[in-house]
Amino acid sequence: MRPLHRTFPRLTQPFRVKGVPMLTFRRTPLLTALALALLSASTLLAAPARADEADVHYRMALEHKRAGHLPDALREAREATRLRPAHAAAWLTTGTILRTQNDLPGALAAFQRVTDLEPNSSQGWALLGAVYLRMSRWQDAVEPLRKAVAFDTHDASSWANLGSALRHLGKPDEAIAALQAGLTQVPNDSQLLNNLAVALRSARRFDEAAVALRAAATAQPNDAQIALNLAITLRSAEKYEEAIPEYERTLRLAPTNTDAMFDLAVCYEQLHRSDDAIRAYGRYIEAIRPRDPAAATRAQERIQAVQAH
């Protein structure tokens, strides 16, 4: 029988152990087996170690995000996705940060990764649809938002966004149906009521829109946008007397809202309350002139027209 060391002739040379220069060892079959076992173990542990490292970076991203350090949060989230490309939560965090930074194409790509990795993620679909909406890509927004409300029927924001997308596509009836469906799941939600009213107004169903907005205003009495939408709805229905108090309430809640200032002046003008109209136009001119001189000039022409009568 051949000597064992001759079976492995290249493994019988002495070698030095780092940090122990005075000692030498001879590679034997036993040491070789141990080395191979350790090598195999380290190979098996490499992937989980990288996965754990990805989670560390993800948690650091969340901490930075909570502290408002968005560039640091984004760097850590991106490192987490580099280490683990299938880290859906890190992609979600990446997308929300990019959306906050107004990098909508980047946010869109991140949320698409989320929905690729987790097709049943209601949050992923909701955020994807919301970004499409902000990009005015109305048609692209519809399918993700439909999926979002299918996976989470109580997601009021996605119902509201779905209604908005359909309304912008010139489909008021579908928008109304979607928003009414949302209200069956989330009754009396002010955002849904507000968007329903806007859709009803676009369909010239002013009385129904006013009912929805009064309900929204009851739920959110300090919401200036709801107050303004109610005022606009009443003015569109030529109910100027009813609209005036709502415009005044809007301006108490948002004193610099120039849209409300101008519309209030129009209501006074329609009711032939000339002095009130001139004062309201004057207030509008003072507020709008620094950023839109042309609008101020048009309002001055309205004052002249009122004075002429």
Percent of all residues in the chain with a pLDDT value above 90, rounded to a whole number:
82
Residue 33 in this model has a pLDDT that exceeds 60: no
Please give the pLDDT value at position 48: 55
Binning pLDDT at 50, 70 and 90, where does residue 160 land?
A: very high
CB 181 within 8 A of CB 211: no
pLDDT in tens, 74-93: 999 999 999 999 999 999 99
Token pair listed for 288:
């709008």
pLDDT of residue 21: 46
Give residue 49's pLDDT band: very low, low, confident or very high (50, 70, 90): low
- Helices 122-134/88-100 angle, 10° precision: 20
* Segment 193-197 mean pLDDT: 96
67: CB partners within 8 A, 6+ apart = none
Q: Which of 9-13, 179-183, 240-244, 258-262 has the lowest average pLDDT?
A: 9-13
What tokens does 291 get? 């950023």
Distance CA 253, CA 187 (A): 25
CA 180 centroid distance within chain: 22
pTM of the model: 0.75
Q: Token pair for residue 34?
A: 């141990």
Instruction: Please report, as a single letter, which amino acid is at residue 93.
Output: T
**pLDDT single digits (tens) 169-180:** 999 999 999 999
Q: Which residue has the higher pLDDT, 114 or 20?
A: 114
pLDDT at 20: 43
Sorted by sequence, the CB contacts under 8 Å of residue 94 that are 6+ apart come out as 74, 77, 78, 81, 106, 110
pLDDT at 9 > cutoff 50: no
In 3D space, the residue among 92, 84, 107, 86 whose CA is nearest the CA of residue 61 turns out to be 92
Residues 227-235, mean pLDDT to the nearest whole number? 97
Q: Tell me what percent of the residues of the chain surpass a pLDDT of 70.
A: 83
Backbone torsions φ then ψ of 25, nearest 5 degrees? -130, 150
* Alpha-carbon gap, residue 233 to 214, rounded angstroms: 11
- Domains of the chain in start order, with CATH, are 52-119 (1.25.40.10)
**Residue 22: pLDDT band with limits 50, 70, 90:** very low
- Written in H, E and C, the secondary structure of the chain is CCCHHHHCHHHCCEEEECCEEEEEEECCHHHHHHHHHHHHHHHHHHHHHHHHHHHHHHHHHHHHHHCCCHHHHHHHHHHHHHHCCCCHHHHHHHHHHHHHCCCHHHHHHHHHHHHHHCCCCHHHHHHHHHHHHHCCCHHHHHHHHHHHHHHCCCCHHHHHHHHHHHHHCCCHHHHHHHHHHHHHHCCCCHHHHHHHHHHHHHCCCHHHHHHHHHHHHHHCCCCHHHHHHHHHHHHHCCCHHHHHHHHHHHHHHCCCCHHHHHHHHHHHHHCCCHHHHHHHHHHHHHHHCCCCHHHHHHHHHHHHHHHHC
Identify the pLDDT of residue 3.
46
Residue owning tokens 């490292």: 53
The string of pLDDT tens digits covering residues 140-149 is: 999 999 999 9
Widest pairwise Cα distance in the chain: 124
